[in-house]
A and B are shown apart, each in its own frame.
Chain A
């Protein structure tokens, strides 16, 4: 079974609009962490934001925020005021406690339209 599911293979968004990238996960471990990465065409994976399963508040980092709904097992990334430079692949990933592996989803390709 997929541990991380990203159901949007591609999205097109007008510049300056907000965008939500979906991520659902599957785990029976009560302690886990969720990560979002950006991968531009250059190939480097860039860390964006982290949410711990016990964190009481949704994580925010600049224009990035995480809409964490624990009961639904979803961790959607919200990018506010999108910019042309936001065009990239975005990956959701999870690490369960006691496990070093980050398990990634298949990603969403975001294209910002001027």
Chain B
């Protein structure tokens, strides 16, 4: 069990640029989640996958955001035309999908939009 891995750890980009983050979940976990955390707040749900199917998206996930999990393993989160308000920590988590299963989080990707 190597844990959830996220890359990159930090990303600084200029407003208007596109960015893509990657998440590698724990291998036996079929559920994968993306959360966003801003300073002083708890994580906020963005979206989740069961295997390769994206089953729910938050209203926080604007049209500029897209997430994929093409083979049911790793996932990518892309933000197009970044805005300063997108600056946050983006957290990925995975779980076994049982009601009592905790989410196991990665170290996150900190995005700064200048």
Binding site for B on A (CB under 8 A): 4, 31, 33, 35, 37, 42-47, 50, 52, 91, 93, 95, 97, 100-107
8 Å CB contact of B108 from A35, A44, A93, A104: A44
Residue of B nearest to A51 (CB): B100
Q: Are A52 and B107 in contact (CB under 8 A)?
A: no
B contacts, CB < 8 Å to A: 31, 33, 40-45, 48, 55-56, 58, 89, 91, 93, 99-100, 102-108, 110
Chain B residues within 8 Å of A45, by CB: 43, 91, 93, 103, 105
Q: Which residue of B lies closest to A44 (CB)?
A: B107
Per the bound structure, the CA–CA distance linking A100 and B41 in Å amounts to 20
The number of A-B residue pairs with CB atoms under 8 Å apart is 59
Chain A residues whose C-beta falls within 8 Å of the C-beta of B55 in the assembled complex: 100
Q: Which residue of B lies closest to A104 (CB)?
A: B42
Supply 17 A–B pairs (Cβ within 8 Å), ascending by A.
Answer: A33-B100, A43-B108, A44-B108, A45-B91, A45-B93, A46-B105, A50-B100, A52-B99, A52-B100, A93-B42, A100-B56, A101-B48, A101-B56, A101-B58, A103-B45, A107-B41, A107-B42
Residues of A within 8 Å of B93, CB to CB, are: 45
CA gap between A106 and B39 in the complex, in Å: 10
Q: Which of B31, B44, B91, B104 contacts A100 (CB 8 A)?
A: B31
Q: Is the CB of B42 within 8 A of A47?
A: no
Chain A minimum-CB-distance residue to B49: A100
Give the distance to chain B from A74, nearest Cβ to Cβ, in Å: 17
Q: Are B106 and A106 in contact (CB under 8 A)?
A: no
